[in-house]
Structure formats: structure tokens, C-alpha cells
Structure 1
């Protein structure tokens, strides 16, 4: 199963989701992340807390969803697009995504928290924990036959 995580700036929640999925799904799911208006850099606390939790951060980058396709038509073609921020959920996806199913997770943004270092740490760890739980469900879904995956993904969003 191929999953594309989208967050407008592709610097925190979508990056966390990509890294966690890649590592925990161990090849069962291929994950990428992108944004409509990428910041161009991954939030430093995303890297810090992913590393602290034992996740590989090599190759994580803030990129535009347009960078996932080229003029030759070669692209990362997801089976499902998951928006992780409310702003991205309201945006029109690029045409090359066509009729690919789109789901919304609506994760809180720990990078927006103003507070102590410990409060920021807890916010990141909470978001990471939530993503880990959802990715475990995605792994179970990815192991199913293709015909059963879409229905199971839709049920996941309702849960």
C-alpha cells in the first residue's frame, strides 16, 4: 500500500506520519509526505523527538506535492491520501491525484504550542503516540486484499 500524507507546510505532522509509517510498517506500506505550500525545511523539534523515540529521520524533507510527479508522468502514486491538518483537508488536491481516496486525520500541531520545553516535548510525544496507534491500524489494513482495503480505511476514519 502506498500512502501520501499531506499537510499544508509539510514540516511537522506529515513528516512525523511519514517517518513513523516507514519504520513501523517495514515495507508493508510505502509512505511519502508533501504539502501544497511547503516550508522548505522540517521543523527541528520533529527531527529531535522522532530521533528521541528511535525513528530514522534520514531523508525527511519538506517538499511540494508537485515534486512527486515529473514531466514524464513518473510519480509516486498513492493508494490513499491522508491529510493531517484541517487546512490541507480543505484544499483541492492536484489533478494528478485523480480519484485516489482521501482521508482526514486532523492531528493537533505540536509545533504551534507556546510553552515550556517540557510542554512542547509532551505535545510532540502525544502526537507521535496518536500517529503510532493509527499506523498500527493501517498496517492491519495493508495486509488485507486490495478489495477490502478501501472499506477498511473508511471505517478507520469513522472510528
Structure 2
């Protein structure tokens, strides 16, 4: 068995998008993935992100909002930035660590009624799910046997 793929999802405040991505990666990747998330800053956990992920059957309530560290970067096989600010301010990566960028809309900036705001959180949750699913399909393909 090969070592698990170590993914690190990075956004500005590690409160919504990167938290969702970490939750999806843990859920969809199982023991083939180690997922972490961090922010350029730590803004705390967003209760709406926790709620919409719970609606989809993914519990991210125990995940912490953390600041990006050199140790996290060193552990990662792949860093995925999920917003432009994080992409622009991501430190230089250690040799061998790859980087992807997903320009996701920040649901925390949604305005309108509570229903409209929650609809935006759900839309972003579903987009993150699709992106993580596709990423894992690609990245874990090497681990598959012809009978999978």
C-alpha cells in the first residue's frame, strides 16, 4: 500500500472554503488521504459552513481554524489554495510540494436574507465537493487496480 496523499487546503481565514475542502477530502478519501486546512490568518470557524456540511453528512465541527505554518507546508504533497488572496500570499513551497488554485467564491461575503445566504453556502459546499471529488479521482488513480 502506498503512503496516504497529504492534502493542505489554504484560504484567507480558514473559516469556510478550506474547512469544507478538508471535510470533503477526509470523507471522500478515507484512509488514502490525510487532509488539513489552514489560513493566511485564522478567523475562527463559521457556523454556517458547519451547518451546510452537516446537512450533507460531513461533520467539520471538530476541525480548528489554524494559521498556515512551515511544518504544514513541509508535510503536504499538494497545497490547494481556494481563494485569490491565499494564492497570492502563499509562501514558497518546499521542493516536491505541488500547488493548485481553485478560485472559489467566499460564501461568508454573501448578502441578502438568511435563506439567500445559506443558499450561497450550499452552492459553494457543492462546488467544493465536486472539486475535491475530481481531485481525488485524479490523484488517487495511481493507487487503483484494474478491478477497482
User: Is this a same-fold pair by TM over 0.5?
Assistant: yes
Verify the 8 A CA contact 2:73 2:79 in the aligned structure 1: no
Gapped runs of 5+ residues in structure 2? 144-148
- Equivalent residue for 1:101? 98
- Equivalent residue for 1:89? 87
CA distance in 2, matches of 1:113, 1:59: 24
CA distance in 2, matches of 1:92, 1:49: 27
- The within-5 A match list for 1:11-50 is 11-39=15-43, 41-50=44-53
Alpha-carbon deviations, 1:111-152, whole Å to 9, x = none? Answer: 111111111111011111111111111221232338xxxxxx
CA distance in 2, matches of 1:75, 1:17: 17
Gapped runs of 5+ residues in structure 1? 147-159
Structure with a larger share of its residues in strand:
2
Verify the 8 A CA contact 2:50 2:61 in the aligned structure 1: no
CA distance in 2, matches of 1:118, 1:58: 21
Verify the 8 A CA contact 1:12 1:42 in the aligned structure 2: yes
- The within-5 A match list for 1:132-143 is 132-143=129-140
SS of 1:61's equivalent in the other structure is coil
Q: CA deviation at 1:88?
A: 0.5
Q: Which runs of 4+ in 1 moved over 3 A?
A: none
Verify the 8 A CA contact 1:22 1:29 in the aligned structure 2: yes
Alpha-carbon deviations, 1:70-116, whole Å to 9, x = none? Answer: xxxx98611110000110010141x5x41311110010011111111
